[in-house]
Amino acid sequence: MIQRIQSIYFSLMILLSLVLISGSFINFSDSTGAAIKVTLNGIVRDRIGQNPEMIDKLLPLSVLIILIPAISLITIFIFKNRKLQLWFSLFIVILAVVFLIASIYVSFRIVSKFDARLIPGFKMILPLAILIFSILASRGIKKDDQLVKSYDRLR
């Protein structure tokens, strides 16, 4: 049901996750002037005048970036089964927390390993926004469930 607020939250999570899929979402600059980027494929070092080199693969982070919008899309279309939708939304909350923690861990690892400094950007806040929207969607499903149960009591 598109008119429910949690469907809008799930749609926003899908859009934000799709933005993360394209390009890099965390950027660094090391002491040599090379740019270090965290992308869907992994950590890439881009030196001026040279081809970008893959430093490390981040398969768990890539899987999370793909799982969150996929499960969110499924959750939108199971609106008739609120219990299952609630379980899926709680699973998305857990995935969003893990994604946020993994992003922070990768950032600290890059800063310490490559003596790099973080370059602030818009895409850095997207994991936190995904977590917030997933919590709001879960709360919306709970409110809908309570509303339906209160109507059942009145009958």
Residue 101 tokens read as: 């923690």
This prediction has a pTM of 0.90
d(CA 36, CA 29): 6
Q: Which residue has the tokens 């990768």?
A: 106
Q: Are 130 and 99 in contact (CB under 8 A)?
A: yes
Confidence band for 133, pLDDT divided at 50, 70 and 90 = very high
Mean pLDDT of 36-47: 92
Q: What confidence score (pLDDT) does residue 36 get?
A: 93
Mean pLDDT of 86-98: 96
Mean pLDDT of 35-59: 90
Mean pLDDT of 58-62: 91
Alpha helices of the chain — where are they, by DSSP H?
Answer: 5-21, 59-77, 82-114, 126-154
Tens digits of residue pLDDT in 19-28: 999 888 899 9
Q: What confidence score (pLDDT) does residue 120 get?
A: 92
Mean pLDDT of 67-88: 93
Q: Are 31 and 115 in contact (CB under 8 A)?
A: yes
26: helix, strand or coil: strand
Q: What confidence score (pLDDT) does residue 1 get?
A: 45
Q: What confidence score (pLDDT) does residue 10 get?
A: 95
Q: What confidence score (pLDDT) does residue 7 get?
A: 92
Domain boundaries, the chain: 5-22+59-113+121-154
Residue 152 scores a pLDDT above 80: no
Mean pLDDT of 65-89: 93
Q: What confidence score (pLDDT) does residue 22 get?
A: 87
User: In three state form, how does the secondary structure of 7-24 look?
Assistant: HHHHHHHHHHHHHHHCCC
CA of 29: how far to CAs of 8, 121, 129, 149, in Å?
A: 36, 13, 24, 54
Mean pLDDT of 41-65: 90
Q: What confidence score (pLDDT) does residue 154 get?
A: 66
